[in-house]
Structure formats: C-alpha cells, structure tokens
Amino acid sequence: MNRFGRRLAVGYVLLALVFAVVGPWLAPYDPERPTADVLLAPSLDHPMGTDASGLDVLSVTVAAFRTDLLIAVCAVGISLLVGIVLGVLAGYSFGGSRVFRTVGVTVDRLLDIVQSIPVVILGLALVATFGRGVPSVVAAVAFVNVPVFARLLRASVKSVERSGMVQACRSIGLSERTTLRRHVLPNSLDSTLANGSIAVGTAILLTAALSFLGAGVRPPTPEWGALISNGANYVSTGQWWISVFPGLVLSVTVVTFAVAGEVIRAAVARSRGKAAAEDPTFEAIVQDEMRMP
C-alpha cells in the first residue's frame, strides 16, 4: 500500500464518520418511507435506482452509514473494555498469586470456547435469544469480538511482564496494582487499540451479515445488509442496482477501516521510537558519553 493509498483510506474513514453523523439529512429522499416509484433503474433522479418498496437506494445507503457505524463502533468499544479487563486477568500474574492464576486459566478456557464457535452462528444465536433490534445486534457483535481483544491484550501484557520493567517495579517496592496501572497497561495497549479500527471494519461486515440473514436490525431502519438482502431476489431478474451499490459501499468501508487501522498502528509504532539508532540525536548522545569523565 503506497502513501497515496493510505491517505485515501484515512480520508474515506473520516468521510464515513461524517456521513454517520449527517447522513440521514444528506439523503435526497426519505430512506424509511416507501413510495410508488418501485424498481426504477439508476437515473438522474435516482442515481442508484429504487428498490421494490420504492425506497431510493442512494438515500438508504447514505443513511445506513449511521446504523452500521453506530453498531460497529459501539460494539467494538464495549468489546475493547471487556476485552481489556479479561486480557489483564488472563495475562498478568499479579506477582504469582494462586487465585489470579486460576482466574487467568479459567478466562483463557472460556475465551477458547467462545472462539471455537463460528462467529455468524454465534451472532445469530444471540440475536435469536435477545430479539431483533439495535441493542441486541450491538451485544452480539461485541460478544464475538471480546476474545479477539482479550487475546491481544493478554499477549502484550505477558510480554511486558516478561521484560525487565515489571521486575524493576517490584524491586523498587511498587505494589502489583500500581505496577499494572502505571506501567503494564499503558505499555500493552498500543496494539490492542490500533486493532480497534481494524475490528470496526469486520464488525460492520458482521452487522451486515446478520441483517442479510434476517437477524439484524428491524426494518425499515436503513442498513446495508438488509438492503443487499432485499435486492438479492431481483438480481436474477435484472434489477442489479439494489444490491450492488450498497454492496460496493460496504466492501470499500470494511477495507478502508482495516487499512486505516494499519496506518494507526504504524504511526504508533513510529512515535514509540522502536529504533533508537535512527534517532538523529543518537549520535550526539553517544559523543556526549565519550566525553564524560
């Protein structure tokens, strides 16, 4: 991915976030009120055509930014919080405490179990249990993402704990809690947080997938997966536009969130100064040292 591509991706993500806020007002037609103009092909009046109930596809697609992004961002936010807590429990030794060791192993196994169930099936089951609607989709998407973040954090907590820093904290007499709060967590969060943006992409995909399968938000809430599912019946009879346009927007959104996540991760890694030797001041420092008594 070259520099232009990366900028384009970040630009698109920002645009998507703007759409999520103002999308419904930008829509030329009401995205939720059916009209008599059913199954019109793309034209100047309806650039993406209309669907079987006469909804303007462009309007629904633009308005759906809010639904899909809201669900995805909320779900990722919740799973980040829960994942961080579980990741710490699973990863940190708390100074070799037996209780926390048991807790850690238990959390580990539970995450294993959750991860062993296919994501979409788990999501379907959750929505089936709690009923359709935005909150249950958020809960379902959040639930399947928790193990991802918990695993990431667990791994980085473990590697930070293995580094000398935690030993040093113990040897100067810091309590385990203080060590965890001040040193272990801040140094472990980087990769987990950067992964948040990537996860938003996959969360959008899962949201749409659930809707496509009929387990998503209630109609007529504008949503990409639901729209694609509606249009799927008409593709074979030639009305391709109902599924294709929202499908394109969905794909582009998922990919760009993943790319933006990579960009964020790279930026964070750079700012941490992974390679001190590249620091322009480094040579000067070495010379400082040579001159010292």
Partner 1 sequence: MSSPRLQIDELVIGAGEGDRSSTPVRGASLAIGAGEILGLVGESGSGKTLTGLACLGLFQPGVRPVSGTVTVDGQAISALPERERRKLRGPSVAMVFQDPLSSFHPGLTIGSQIVHSLLDRGVSRADAKKRCLEVLGEVGLPRPDAQAKRYPHQLSGGMRQRAMIALALANRPRVLIADEPTTALDPTVQAGILRLLRRLADDGLAILFISHNLGVVAGLCDRVAVMYQGQIVESGPTAELIGAPRDAYTKTLLAAAPTLPEPGELGIEAVPVDAPRVAAVVDVDAETALFDLRGVSRHFTTRSRGRRSTVHALDGIDLTIRRNTSVGVVGESGSGKSTLARLLGALDHPSTGQVSFDGQDIATLSKEQMRSFRRRVQFVFQDATSSLDPRYTIRDTLAEALSTHGVREPGEQSRRIAALLDQVRLPQQLLGRHPRELSGGQRQRVAIARALAPRPEVLIADEPVSALDVSIQAQVMEVFRDLAENDGLTLVMVSHDLALIRDVCDTLVTLYNGTIMENAEADTYYDQPRHPYSAALLDAMPNPRHIGRLPEVLALGEPADPTAPPSGCRFHPRCTQAQDLCASTVPLLRPEPGRELACHFPLQVAAPARKAEL
Contacts to partner 1 by CB under 8 A? 163-165, 167-168, 170-174, 182-183, 186-187, 272-273, 276-283, 285-286, 288-290, 292-293
- Distance between CA atoms of residues 34 and 259, nearest Å: 36
Amino acid at the residue 145: N
**Which residue number, 10 or 174, has a Cβ lying nearer to partner 1?**
174
> Looking at beta carbons only, is 214 or 273 nearer to partner 1?
273
**Considering the complex, what minimum distance in angstroms separates the CB of residue 163 from partner 1?**
4
Least CB distance to partner 1 at residue 55 (A): 51
- Closer residue to partner 1 (CB): 185 or 215: 185
Minimum gap (Å) between residue 175 Cβ and partner 1: 9
* Residues 219, 132: Cα–Cα separation, whole Å: 10
- What is the nearest approach in angstroms of partner 1 to the Cβ of residue 270? 12
Tell me the closest approach of the beta carbon of residue 80 to partner 1, in angstroms. Answer: 20
Q: What are phi and psi of 206, to 5 degrees?
A: -65, -40
Whether 194 contacts 264, CB under 8 Å: yes
Contact 55, 37 (CB under 8 A): no
CB 5 within 8 A of CB 259: yes
**36 or 172: whose CB is closer to partner 1?**
172
**Cβ closest to partner 1, residue 45 vs residue 283:** 283
